[in-house]
A and B are shown apart, each in its own frame.
Chain A
Amino acid sequence: MNTPEPIRIDRRVAIKWMLTASAGAMLIRTPSFGGVAPETAASAAGRPATGYGTDPDLVKGYKPGDLWPLTFTAAQRREAAALCDIMIPADDHSPSASAVGVTDFIDEFVSAPYPDNVRDGKKIVDGLAWLDAESTRRFGAVFADASAGQQASLCDDIAPEEPANPDLKAAADFFKRYRNLVASGFYTTPVGMKDIGYVGNVPLARFEGPPADLVERLGLTDEVKW
C-alpha cells in the first residue's frame, strides 16, 4: 500500500492567495483551489506515517494520534475548532463538536496516510487556509478571531452547494466536506449518539420490536402479523 506523506499547506500559500485576490469588491475573486500547488511536508516530527495495517488490535481503544502523528499547527487547530463549533454548536441537547474531541478527529483524518485521506486532507487543509485568507481579507482577522457575525456571513457565502460566484465552488465543496466530517466525528461519540436517538449497543434479554403505539401511529399494525 502506498503511504504518501500527509500534505499540509503553508501559511505562505494562504497569504499568496490573499494578495492575489482583487481588493475592493464585496465578493472578491477567489483563487481556485486547484490552481494552487500544494506544499508537501513530511509529518511534523519527520516520522513517516503508516496505516494500522491489515491486522490491527480491534479490541483496544484508539484516540487520534495513537497510530500516526497529528499534523495541525496550533493555528490550524484553533481555526478547525472554531469551524467545528460553527457546524455543531452547543445547544440544549448536547455540547459542541470541539467539546467532544471532533477537532482531534479532523486532525487525525487530514494526517492519515491513506490515499483518500491524503486527497481529502489536502482539500481540508487548503480550505482552512482559504478561509483564513478570506477572513483576513474581508475582516482583517483570521477566521478564529473574526466575530460570530463575520464568521456567519463568510460561511453563508459558501454554504450554497453551487454558489452564485463560481470562484467560490471549491470553498463550497470544502465547506460541505468539512460539515460531513464534523457530523461523522460528532454523531459517532456517545454524546452524539444520544443526541440523535441511537439507544442500542446494549445487551438485551429480548428484542421486542417497535412499540405498538408507534406501529399503530404509522398505520403498520397489520404488518406485524406474519
Chain B
Amino acid sequence: MAFITPASAADKYDVIVVGSGAAGGQAAYTLAMDGARVLMIEAGRNYDPRSETPMFQTNDAAPLRAVGTPDKAFGFYDATVDGGWSVPGEPYTNASMEHGREFKWWRARMLGGRTNHWGRIALRNGPYDFKPRSRDGLGFDWPISYEDVAPYYDKVEMLIGVYGSNSGLENTPDSPDGCLLPTPKARIGELLVRQRGRRLGIPVIPIRRAVLTQPLDHRTIPAKLHPGNAKAQRVLAEDMQNRAACFWATACGRGCSIRANYQSTTVHLPPALATGNLDIVTNGMAREVTLDPAGKATGVAYIDKTTGLEHHASARAVVLAASACETVRLLLNSKSNRFPNGLANSSGLVGKYIMDTVGADWGGQIPILENLPPLNEDGAGGEHVYTPWWLYKEQIAGKLGFARGYHVEIGTGRGMPGGYAPYLPSSGGRTTYGARLKQDARRYYGSNVWLTGRGEMIPNADSFCEIDPKVVDKWGIPVLRFHWKWSEHEIRQAAHMQRTFADWIVAMGGTNRKEPDPDGRKGIEPGGSIIHEVGGTIMGAAPATSVTNSWSQAWDVKNLFVADGGVFASNADKNPTLTIMALAWRTADRILDQMRKGNF
C-alpha cells in the first residue's frame, strides 16, 4: 500500500481520513500502526520534503529577494504549496470586509498541509484551558480535562520530538521525564529580553518547539508508544533512525529535508506508509460524506483534481481532519433527507464558534545590541525562549479588564537578512545613504527585538462560517462564507499586549518610535491571520450544545469523527497543533477500540 490513484483504491477500508496535516497525519499514523487499513484523501499534490526543501538557498537566489507576493504570501521559500490567503480556483467569502469583521483563511494544498511550514511551537494546554467556563464563567468547558489528554501529550512529544523544559509555572504543564529534548542555548538578544522582562515581573523561559536537538531515542521510545506491538515498534525504530538532529541552520518555515523538525510528511506519514496499511490519494478534493439508509457514514465522495472525475471510497469509519473550517464545509455540503442542514448538524452548531488566536505585536531597536561581533544565531530555526501567560492571579481578581491570557514569542535580530532591510532606521529624519548607510547597517543589524503576543479568544456567536449561497469553487463545490467579530476581551487583551511590549522595549534601553494605541482595535490582527482557527465542530457534554462528544465523535453519526481543531471548545493561548495531535491520537485509539468491539 502506498500512494495510489482512485482507480487502484481498495473496495473498502477500515477508516478513511480526509486530510494529511497534523490531525490527519496523527490519526492515520495511530490507526495504521495498530493494523487498521486506512485510506487518506488529500486535496493537494504529493510533496517530498527531502527533495523539495530549499535548505541553504540564500534570498538573492530567489525572485524578488524572496519577499512575499500574492503567489507566496509568506515569502518565496515558505514551504506552502498552492496555498496562502487565497487558493487559485477555490475562493471563500466574507460577509463583511469592515475592519475587525474580516476573516483570513490560510490553506495549503499539499501533502502534509500546513505542518510543512508551521512555526513548530508545541505548547500543552493547561488544566485551566479545558475548563475555562468553570473558572471565569465565559465560553465553554470541554467535556474532557487535562488529565484525559496528558498521556497523549506525552506520546506525541516522544513521537515527534519536542525541545523544551519544565518550568512549574501556573497552567503551564510540565512533561514527564523522557518526553522532552534538551533546549538550545538562548541567543544574546533573548538573554537581554529575559533580564529586562524579569525587572518588569515577566518570566522568560525556554520555549517548546518540535525540533530535534538530538536524535530521538529509537531504542526506548517505540516500546513506550506501541506496547505489545512488535511490528509498530520495529517500523518506528527504523524510521526514527532516519531523522537527523537539527544542524542549526535554515529556518523551519521552509520545511526540513533532514527531517529534524516535525512535519506530517517527515514524521507521521513515513512510518504509517511503512506498515503497508496506509493508502494515500493526493489531488483528491473531498466533496461529501456519504450515508447509508440507517444514517451511518459509508465513505467519502471526492473529485480527482487531475481528471475532474468524481470517485467514491468506502470505509467502516470516517475521520475528518481537513482543518477546522474545511471540515465544517464538508459537513455542511453533505446534505441528505436525514440531515437537511448538513451532516452531524442536528444541533445547528456546525460552523459556529470559530476561534482564532489574538495577535498583536510590537518591536523596537535596542542600542545595547548594536555593534555586536558576528554571531551565528540561526539556532533551531525559530524561537528558543518565550513568555507563558503570567498574570493569572491579577486576571482572576478582575484587575485586567479582559478574561484570558496570552503568551509572548520573542524574536531577536541576527537572522539571515531578508528583503526588507529593517536594520536601517531613519536618522534625524534623513534617508541615510552612501558610506554612512554601510556603517549604519553594520551597527544596527541584529539590534532589533520583536515581541509577538498570542492570546486566547473566547468563542462568540458572531464568529462563524456557513455555506455561501451563491459561490462555488472550480469543482462546483459550494464555498464558505465567514462572519467575524472580536469581543472587548480580545480587543483589550491586544491593547495590553502592545502596552506591555512597549514598556519592555524601554526596559531594554530602547525607544519606542510611537506609543501604542490604547484602542486594541488598532493593534489586533485580522481574524484568522494567526492561522490558529479552531472550533466549528466543538465537543461538548450534550448533543444539543455541541457537534462532537468527548471522543470527537459526531453525536449524530457514530462512525464519523473529527480529528482536527474543529472540536476545540476553547482556544487557549497555546498554539493548537500539539493539542490537535494529542486529540487525534486519542480519537484514533477510540476508533480502534470501537472497531474491535464491532460497534461499526
Contacts and interface: CB of A to CB of B under 8 A. Distances in A.
A195 B438 contact: yes
A3 B417 CA distance: 28
Interface stretch (A71-79, A84-92, A133-141): A84-92
B247 A58 contact: no
B379 interface: yes
| Most chain A CB within a 10 A radius of its CB, from B60, B373, B374 | B60
A108 B195 contact: no
Given A220-B192, A224-B185, A200 B441 contact: no
A218 interface: yes
B166 to A, nearest CB: 10
B95 interface: no
A53 B86 CA distance: 12
A64 B61 CA distance: 9
A197 B443 CA distance: 10
Interface string B59-97: 111111111011110001100011110111000000000
A58 B57 contact: yes
B429 A215 contact: no
B434 A112 contact: no
Given A187-B421, A200-B376, A214 B250 contact: no
Given A159-B433, A180-B424, A193-B416, A115 B70 contact: yes
A88 B71 contact: no
Contacts of B84: 54
Interface in B354-380: 368, 372-380
Nearest to A202: B249
A158 B503 CA distance: 35
A193 B187 CA distance: 19
A118 to B, nearest CB: 11
A198 B416 contact: yes
Contacts of B188: 210, 214-215, 218, 220
B596 interface: no
A36 interface: no
| Most chain B CB within a 10 A radius of its CB, from A188, A192, A224 | A188
B431 A196 contact: no
Contact of B430 (A61, A160, A183, A204): A160
Contacts of A112: 63-64, 69
Contact of A199 (B250, B375, B420, B423): B375
A200 B414 contact: yes
B65 A184 contact: yes
A10 interface: no
A201 B378 contact: yes
A143 interface: no
Contacts of A219: 195
A204 B247 contact: yes
B414 A198 contact: yes
Contacts of B421: 180, 183-184, 187
B500 to A, nearest CB: 20
A223 B185 CA distance: 11
Contacts of A203: 247-249
Contacts of B194: 223
A53 B431 contact: no
B195 A223 contact: yes
A48 interface: no
Interface of A: 1, 51-56, 58-59, 61-62, 64, 66-67, 86-89, 91, 93-94, 101, 105, 108-109, 112, 114-117, 155, 159-162, 172, 175-176, 179-180, 183-185, 187-190, 192-193, 195-211, 214-215, 218-220, 222-224, 226
7 contacts: A159-B431, A176-B426, A187-B421, A188-B59, A198-B415, A202-B376, A205-B247
Given A114-B71, A161-B426, A188-B66, 8 more contacts: A88-B433, A185-B60, A198-B416, A200-B249, A202-B376, A203-B248, A214-B375, A224-B191
